[in-house]
Structure 1
């Protein structure tokens, strides 16, 4: 098996609210939008972020996602500068994102902050000056 991820799929409670947040608020352009079912974005050259209506997700996967507390994962969006971290966090908050953590200098040398989307999924906005950070920048 190749070392690769093709899709990240998240179950969302209110697909219309999710659409408003990502498309109207953050300005993302969908690759696919099936109202009431799924919203998909190209998130990288070979990566799709799929936001799937929770009922459809449950029908296929077989069990409802846990909703107590913070979902046990983060999504990261890396940028090339500290200033871009602040700008993206400001855009997300203007779109209605819940502020989770203001950007701060990290012990490992980067600069990151967090926001939550309408379903509570945590997005890390990061400037990572090391080689691994450079791997994910366009």
Structure 2
């Protein structure tokens, strides 16, 4: 198996609110949009973010574990400067992201902040000045 990811699928509580956030708020175009079921957004050269209504997800994949706390995953959007981190966090806030944590310099040398989508999935917005940061930027 090649080390490659083709889809990231997130089960979402409210597909309408999720669509409003990503498509209307952030302006991300859809590749597939099936009301009440799934939204697919191209997020990389060969990578799709699939936002799937929780009930539809459970029908195919299995029961979702629910409970207190955060889902133990983050998605990251890397940019070329700390100022771009702040601009993306501002755009997410304007789109309805909640919560949004301000960007800050990290011990490892980068600058990051976070926002939550309507289901609570956390996005890290990051400036990574090291070699890995160069790999992930277009």
Q: Same fold (TM over 0.5)?
A: yes
TM-score for both structures, normalised by structure 2: 0.97
After superposing on structure 2, the runs of 4+ consecutive aligned residues of structure 1 that deviate more than 4 Å are none
Q: Structure 1: which 5+ residue stretches go unaligned? A: none
Aligned 1:1-138 pairs, distance under 5 A:
1-138=1-138
Question: What CA distance in whole angstroms lies between the structure 1 residues aligned with 2:132 and 2:66?
Answer: 31
Paired positions, count: 138
Let me know the Cα RMSD of the aligned residues.
0.9
Q: Structure 2: which 5+ residue stretches go unaligned? A: none
Instruction: Tell which deviates more after alignment, 58-67 or 80-89.
Output: 58-67
- In the TM superposition, what is the alpha-carbon distance from 1:81 to its structure 2 partner? 1.0
- In the TM superposition, what is the alpha-carbon distance from 1:90 to its structure 2 partner? 0.3
- In the TM superposition, what is the alpha-carbon distance from 1:67 to its structure 2 partner? 4.2
TM-score for both structures, normalised by structure 1: 0.97
Question: What CA distance in whole angstroms lies between the structure 1 residues aligned with 2:8 and 2:72?
Answer: 14
Question: What CA distance in whole angstroms lies between the structure 1 residues aligned with 2:67 and 2:14?
Answer: 14
